[in-house]
């Protein structure tokens, strides 16, 4: 089970998993093949594969989460209600091959800068959809509370 899955709140579910683009794995393999004769290629390959396997990013029903770390965990998260904006950076090569960088900004000083990922537009769309559902659920709860309060007064 992934780190993020283990640390979900009650009634929270993962809606979308982000992932690295295959080019980042190819980069590690290329370093191993090209520099494999040298120890540095093997060390770089091991480090890069560990980094790719231990970095998780996801949209849940309550927040956006990124976990990094090989031996320790560093977790960045933004609640869906605190999202203010996002910057998607996808150059021509990224558009051709389907990868790019994404930064999601929250109120105040909060932000999450994701590493280059596969399908950053789909991740951003999932975040926007989850945020909209979260906002609508909050409005529905408020309307229900107002309605209930109104019935109790009569």
Query: pLDDT tens across 57-88, in order?
Result: 999 988 899 999 888 889 999 988 888 889 99
**pLDDT classification of 112: cutoffs 50, 70, 90:** very high
Looking at residue 19, the DSSP 8-state letter turns out to be -
Q: Please say if the pLDDT value at position 154 is more than 60.
A: no
CB-side neighbour CA atoms (13 Å) of 29: 5
Report all structural domains of the chain as residue ranges with CATH numbers, in order of start: 3-20+55-153 (2.30.29)
The number of angstroms, rounded, from the C-alpha of 81 to the middle of its chain's C-alpha atoms is: 16
Q: What is the pLDDT of residue 145?
A: 59
pTM: predicted TM-score of the whole model, two decimal places: 0.71
């Amino acid at each position: 089970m992934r780190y993020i899955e283990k640390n979900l709140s009650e009634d929270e579910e993962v809606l979308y998993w982000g992932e690295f683009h295959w080019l980042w794995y190819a980069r590690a393999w290329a370093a191993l093949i090209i520099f494999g004769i040298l120890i540095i290629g093997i060390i770089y390959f091991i480090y890069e594969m560990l980094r790719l396997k231990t970095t998780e990013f996801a949209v849940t029903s309550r927040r956006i989460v990124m976990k990094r770390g090989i031996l320790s965990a560093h977790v960045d998260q933004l609640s869906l209600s605190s999202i203010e904006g996002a910057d998607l950076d996808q150059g021509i090569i990224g558009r051709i091959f389907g990868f790019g960088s994404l930064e999601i900004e929250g109120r105040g000083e909060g932000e999450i800068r994701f590493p280059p990922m596969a399908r950053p537009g789909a991740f951003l769309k999932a975040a926007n959809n989850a945020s909209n559902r979260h906002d609508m659920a909050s409005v529905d709860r408020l309307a229900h509370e107002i309605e209930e309060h109104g019935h109790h007064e009569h």
